[in-house]
């Protein structure tokens, strides 16, 4: 008997659109599976932050809906009381201490766990009476994470939580994610990142944004298996091959590009075909927005 991966959506986005003039997000249809870690990737300016802000209600979309499954039904909007949020910049006053920030936020959070907050600070080696303005980037992020987790959320949404962190701090953050996921089968994480090595291990699902569009979605391993990287001499690129590749780059007569695995037959033995990584998807899918899969 097998465990089937059932995927009720924690968050359901339909037809989301936001127009900023020079940049347009959407229309986006996206499901965030409950109980899993989903990585959201894309180049800078692809729309990751706008998407997350739309989900959280920070930004009003021009069209579309965001709904969340809770209490057995699908309801409009997000339940902020059960959501922990971390942005890549701190959202607290620099003069506050860590303890002060917690005291400011706790009254709004019905499930606030002061013990958990203190434990996390200790583990992260952030002094509870340290002025937030004096914290390093890594410490600041870890404080944000502690503040988010102490709310005992069921859903964690993070925008580039590990950017600017040294490898040791990143490891700490990933460890905390792993424990959060183990704590309850309903716990869900959505995080956007450039640092795809973080996703390689702990992400269950992947969503790829490029030019404001969702260009790939699915379980991580499956999505990667749909693609391959090809490298070789430019002369080996036939016209049909040229048309079929994503994000072709040519330098000094050598090319590299991303292809769908069903197109590998377009290439001969003089090219190198290798499995694609998440970085490859971000780089090459981003260069040809809206290209057919």
Partner 1 sequence: MSGVLRFVRLDIRVQQATLRTTLAVAGLLAVLTWVVTPLPPMIVAIFTFAAAIVAVEPFRADERGRLDVLYAVLPVGRAEVVWGRYLTMLGVQVSFAAVGVLLAVAAAAAKAQPLDVGLTGLVLAAGLAINALVLAVQTPVLFRVGYARARWVAFTPIMVIMAIVALAGPSGLNLLRVASALAATAWLPALFPLAGLVALALSALASAWLYGRRDL
Partner 2 sequence: MQVILSQTSGTPLYEQITEQLRAAILRGELAEGTQLTSLRQLARDLRVSLITTTRAYNDLAASGLIANVPGRGSYVLAVDREAARAEATRALRDQLGRAVGTAVTAGIEPTALHLLLDEAWNEQHDH
168 binds partner 2 (CB under 8 A): no
44 binds partner 2 (CB under 8 A): no
Helix (H, G, I), strand (E, B) or coil at 149: helix
Q: Is the peptide bond before 47 cis (omega within 30 degrees of 0)?
A: no
User: Would you say 136 or 234 has its CB closer to partner 1?
Assistant: 136
d(C-alpha 8, C-alpha 29), whole Å: 15
Number of residues that bind partner 2 (CB under 8 A): 22
CB of 225 to partner 2, least distance (A): 11
130 binds partner 1 (CB under 8 A): no
Q: What share of residues in the chain are helix, strand, coil (percent, to 5)?
A: 35, 30, 35
77 binds partner 1 (CB under 8 A): no
Work out the angle between the directed axes of helices 167-183 and 114-124 (0-180°, nearest 10): 150
Report the residue from 60, 129, 240, 269 that binds partner 1 according to the rule CB under 8 A.
60
185 binds, among partner 1, partner 2, none (CB under 5 to 8 A by kind): partner 2
In terms of phi and psi (left: phi > 0; alpha: psi -120 to 50; beta: otherwise), the region of 253 is left
36 binds partner 2 (CB under 8 A): yes
> Which secondary-structure segment (H or E) carries 110?
none
239 binds partner 2 (CB under 8 A): no
- 């956007």: which residue's tokens? 192
274 binds partner 2 (CB under 8 A): no
Report the residue from 94, 233, 275, 290 that binds partner 1 according to the rule CB under 8 A.
94
234 contact partners, CB below 8 Å, separation of at least 6:
250, 253, 254, 255
80 binds partner 2 (CB under 8 A): no
d(C-alpha 281, C-alpha 260), whole Å: 11
100 binds partner 1 (CB under 8 A): yes
Q: Which stretch binds partner 2 (CB under 8 A): 35-43, 47-55, 104-112, 154-162?
A: 35-43
The phi and psi torsions of 208 (rounded to 5 degrees) equal -115, 125
103 binds, among partner 2, partner 1, none (CB under 5 to 8 A by kind): partner 1
85 binds partner 1 (CB under 8 A): yes
d(C-alpha 189, C-alpha 38), whole Å: 6
User: Would you say 18 or 205 has its CB closer to partner 1?
Assistant: 18
191 binds partner 1 (CB under 8 A): no
Binding site for partner 1 (CB under 8 A): 53, 56-60, 79-81, 83, 85, 87, 89-96, 100, 103-105, 107-109
């Amino acid at each position: 008997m097998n465990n089937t991966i059932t995927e009720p959506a924690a968050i359901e986005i339909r037809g989301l659109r936001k127009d900023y003039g020079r940049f347009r997000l959407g229309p986006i249809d996206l499901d965030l599976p409950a109980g899993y870690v989903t990585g959201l990737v894309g180049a800078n300016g692809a729309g990751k932050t706008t998407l997350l802000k739309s989900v959280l209600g920070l930004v009003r979309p021009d069209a579309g809906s965001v709904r969340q499954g809770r209490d057995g039904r699908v309801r409009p909007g997000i339940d902020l009381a059960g959501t922990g949020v971390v942005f890549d910049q701190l959202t607290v006053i620099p003069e506050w201490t860590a303890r002060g920030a917690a005291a400011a936020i706790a009254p709004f959070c019905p499930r606030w766990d002061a013990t958990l907050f203190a434990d996390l600070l200790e583990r992260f080696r952030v002094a509870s009476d340290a002025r937030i303005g004096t914290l390093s980037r890594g410490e600041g992020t870890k404080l944000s994470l502690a503040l988010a987790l102490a709310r005992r959320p069921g859903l964690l949404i993070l925008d580039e939580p590990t950017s600017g962190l040294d490898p040791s701090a990143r490891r700490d953050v990933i460890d905390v994610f792993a424990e959060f996921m183990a704590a309850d089968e309903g716990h869900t994480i959505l995080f956007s990142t450039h640092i795809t090595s973080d996703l390689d291990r702990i992400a269950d699902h992947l969503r790829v944004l490029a030019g404001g569009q969702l260009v790939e979605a699915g379980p991580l391993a499956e999505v990667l298996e749909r693609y391959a990287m090809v490298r070789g001499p430019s002369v080996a690129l036939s016209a049909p091959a040229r048309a079929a590749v994503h994000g072709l780059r040519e330098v000094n007569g050598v090319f590299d590009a991303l292809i769908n695995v069903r197109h590998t037959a377009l290439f001969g033995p003089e090219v190198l075909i290798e499995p694609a990584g998440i970085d490859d998807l971000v780089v090459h899918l981003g260069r040809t927005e809206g290209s057919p899969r």
